[in-house]
Structure 1
Amino acid sequence: MSLTVFSAGSLRKALPAMAEAVGLDLDVLFGPAGLLRRRIEEGERPSLFFSANMDHARAVETLDDYAPARELAVNRLCLFGRREALECGDALAAMLAQENRLGTSTPGADPGGDYAFSVFDRAEAILPGSRERLRAKALPLVGGSLHGKDGPGRSPVPGLFEAGKVDLFLGYRTSALDVVRSVEGLAMVELPPALAVEAIYGVVALRGDPVVAKALALLDSLPATEALEQCGFMRCDGA
């Protein structure tokens, strides 16, 4: 019997790899963590909920059916896009350039968008006025809706570049690695320390179910965490 799981879309590669490493059968709905949280609050009860931030995980843990949230992994943001848009080598200058269309996930619905706007907040300390300029030009093109249980699937971000809708995207480094490999002509730059934002992922499990507890223990095991790291994530303990 498979376990029903709600998971942040940015785990669409890592979570199946973790499950395969420990022999788990998971029936996963991938999507923006904020929208998945809303479905849980409205009454749905997945066995496990994986969020791309701890805020949504902690909100779900307040429900009587769920155990306390646990930190799962660390991701971080980076900037990626057309090589010519990144030629200056300065992430902030590239994002602010008028000719560069900047894509993000949708704030509120998707933690990826919230993290991107946190980068904009940090930019204000470097260049006054940049926060509002970046917020005004950011295009929240992904993470605003759910698309059903279609397995791991493919990130929608490559399609944005293939369709010529964006020049740059501010998103997770794990996703950027896959997008840059899959779309010709793209490159990636790390954010400087003054702009860097880390994403702490969390997991919440139904309480009182031994099958769910065993599944969570397997996902915490060494084979699963090694699969997670192979997908570009870091463990929260820094190991």
Structure 2
Amino acid sequence: MADAQPIAVYAAGSLREALTDIARNHEARTGQPVRLTFGASGLLRERIEQGEPAQVFASADTEHPQRLASQGGWQPVVVFTRNALCALTGPHVNAAPDTLLPTLLRSEVRLGTSTPKADPSGDYAWAFFRKADAVQPGAYAVLDAKALKLTGAADSPKPPAGRGTYAWVMEQRQADVFLTYCTNAVSAQAEVPSLRVVPLPATLQVGAAYGLAVRTDAPVQAQAFAQSLTEPAAQAVLQRLGFGRP
């Protein structure tokens, strides 16, 4: 019989649609309630360190859950899905994968990112900047200087209720191009069809490994939910929404 206490799952914001679906299916199948808390992975990790009672942590990277594990009290990190970085562009920006870097380096093009350290999406953007510098020396300095950290920080402006963060940011013309997860970019385009999704060229691609950790004293129901994320039913939901195999 399911425990009446909800499983406390803290998860990266980019997993909102997938985990909401997976948790709903899990509750229907097992009768076990799941309480989902979403946010930027770095901020969630800080909240957990400050004592919030997460039992399962699904991060958009492996570093934040690994930091919890290294402090004790959390099981080893398991990669359960993958994502990649894409460029989300406004309708006035004409860019393709092979012209993306020159476009981003143009002085008049405003480049939006998430906030490094608080949100792994920001860290992945800076990894892209470093790759860009290897392709075109000097690119890192230009991109690092111009990047607008528009999302992911504790004090980042929040979109109105019911609006997706990236669709809202782009519709408000806060940036001309936003570097975010491909899954976020596709969702934003579904919300605002005039936006365009541009994959990064092969030489500049940045992959994101999503890490899962479970508190060592978590009840068996939490362990079972975490385990279910690696199993075919949950993986099918993730892949339907554009996430990659672990």
- Per the normalisation by structure 2, the TM-score is 0.88
Superposition pairs for residues 200-239 of structure 1, below 5 Å?
200-208=209-217, 209-236=219-246
Over residues 87-106 of structure 1, what are the superposed CA-to-partner deviations in whole Å (9 max), with x where a residue is unaligned? 46511012112221110000
1:6 corresponding residue in structure 2: 10
2:113 corresponding residue in structure 1: 104
Cα distance in 2 for residues equivalent to 1:26 and 1:223: 17
Over residues 118-150 of structure 1, what are the superposed CA-to-partner deviations in whole Å (9 max), with x where a residue is unaligned? 000000011111101001111000000279xxx
Over residues 153-191 of structure 1, what are the superposed CA-to-partner deviations in whole Å (9 max), with x where a residue is unaligned? 643111111212111101100000011121142111111
Cα distance in 1 for residues equivalent to 2:206 and 2:11: 21
1:93 corresponding residue in structure 2: 102
Give the residue type in structure 2 aligned to 1:27: R
Corresponding residue SS for 1:225: helix
Change (3 A) 1:169 1:2: same
Cα distance in 2 for residues equivalent to 1:189 and 1:163: 19
Give the residue type in structure 2 aligned to 1:13: E
* Gap regions ≥5 residues in structure 1: none
The Cα shift of 1:227 comes to: 0.7
Cα distance in 1 for residues equivalent to 2:88 and 2:155: 24
- Residue 162 (structure 1) aligned with residue 171 (structure 2): yes
Corresponding residue SS for 1:13: helix
Moved over 6 A (4+): none
Cα distance in 1 for residues equivalent to 2:60 and 2:104: 23
- Residue 122 (structure 1) aligned with residue 127 (structure 2): no
Q: How many residues align?
A: 232
1:65 corresponding residue in structure 2: 73
1:140 corresponding residue in structure 2: 149
What is the RMSD of the two structures over their aligned residues, measured on CA atoms? 1.8
* Gap regions ≥5 residues in structure 2: none
- Residue 180 (structure 1) aligned with residue 189 (structure 2): yes
Cα distance in 1 for residues equivalent to 2:117 and 2:222: 29
Corresponding residue SS for 2:71: coil
Cα distance in 1 for residues equivalent to 2:187 and 2:111: 18
Cα distance in 1 for residues equivalent to 2:102 and 2:79: 34
Change (3 A) 1:154 1:64: farther
- Residue 40 (structure 1) aligned with residue 43 (structure 2): no
The Cα shift of 1:217 comes to: 2.3
Q: State percent identity of aligned pairs.
A: 35
Cα distance in 1 for residues equivalent to 2:64 and 2:96: 36
Cα distance in 1 for residues equivalent to 2:127 and 2:145: 14
- Residue 196 (structure 1) aligned with residue 205 (structure 2): yes
Over residues 23-72 of structure 1, what are the superposed CA-to-partner deviations in whole Å (9 max), with x where a residue is unaligned? 35321111111111111112223011111100001011123321111111
